[in-house]
Amino acid sequence: MKRQSPLILTAAALTFAACQAKAQSSVTLYGRLDMGFDYLSNTRGGGADYRMQSANWGASYFGFRGKEDLGGHTHAIFNLEAGIDMASGEQADSARYFNRIATVGISDDDWGTLTLGRTLGLSNYQWDFDPFQQELTSSQSLSRGRLGPVTSNTVSYISPSYRGLSMQAQYAFGNASSGFNNGLSGDYGRSGGVQINYASGPFRAMGMYEELRDSNGRFSNVFVSSREWFGGLSLRTGKMLWQGAALHLSAPDTPAGLASSANEYWFGGKYTLSPALEIDAAVFHVDVGSGAGDATHDAGGHATMFTLGTLYQLSKRTVLYTTLAHVRNGAHSNFSVNANNPGSDNSNSTNPAFGASQTGAYCGVIHYF
């Protein structure tokens, strides 16, 4: 008999538990499935790529949320979330069953929410200020994916909102015996940060500071393990949602002579043409500080990306999307419209040549459950 994956068995057990849940507790199954086609011009090999690919608009995943009423407006909670490669049906991360979120904690209406475990890093929540919500072609592209970390061994706290003001803080232990700042192989070292949010009617603002150390406990690559300062604003006026942000990245432990800082800016918005149709547009720009590059570090330079997209809702749960983007690189830069790794030779076959432009397009369908 064929042996079943532990992930499948875990999912089945949790589904059974959800069916057996009593009135004072609940377990919810949820997820997002994204599948589509994409095109990239002017790749490093000199040709174009045509692909069927999962997670163009956003990561595909399924998860479980659980809550137990402890009385007095207090609940015990848990969240397990696993990424899926829809193109192959495989786990998005073969080393971890629940690679995105695996947390347990306590939530209180008056005191906030405290969770422990593996979770999305703070910079993921910048998607509320990105017209393309950190999809394949978005603020992630010119930050080389730096804005989407997932950290293990993390203590996370979210405060209640007071007159529109709220706070979220994280602290991730490295858990390595080799040093307090170090991390285990394949994980970040000691990391964390804090963000402040403000919402009032049509206006929103966020400020954030985040640290991501490498497994050796160092800020060694501006687009991989670095410090980040971020500020974002959004404003709704009628059918238009305006969004803009600026961030600064710094990696003081970068080897001497290599670029160790970068600034990224963007501005754009979302226009609701009809209840079913939304049009998105944005301009993104990155400046990498002075210094050389190597196989895994970007050199000083700049790039600008122009992005246009649409979302069409077939229903509340099913959405069609299209996106078109064009990136223009400075002479010493090779940014792609995709969020590839930094450097001249870092498994990036879809990067353009240095100084070259690239155009990308993709379309697909998203279903939520």
In a domain, 3, yes or no: no
Opening angle at CA 226, ends 259 and 78, nearest 5: 155
Give the per-residue pLDDT at 1: 43
Identify which of 281, 346, 277 has the alpha carbon closest to the alpha carbon of residue 309: 281
In a domain, 1, yes or no: no
For 255, list phi and psi in degrees, rounded to 5.
-50, 140
In a domain, 20, yes or no: no
In a domain, 83, yes or no: yes
The sign one gets for the Cα dihedral 10, 11, 12, 18 is positive
In a domain, 129, yes or no: yes
In a domain, 317, yes or no: yes
> Cα(332)–Cα(209) distance, rounded to whole angstroms?
29
Q: Render pLDDT for 153-207 as a digit per residue (tens, 0 to 9).
A: 999 999 999 999 999 999 999 999 999 999 999 899 999 999 999 999 999 999 9
In a domain, 329, yes or no: yes
Mean pLDDT of the region 75-96: 93
Please state the domain count of the chain: 1
In a domain, 7, yes or no: no
Domain hosting 111: range is: 25-368
pLDDT interval class at 93 (50, 70, 90): confident
Q: What is the CATH number of the domain that holds 256?
A: 2.40.160.10
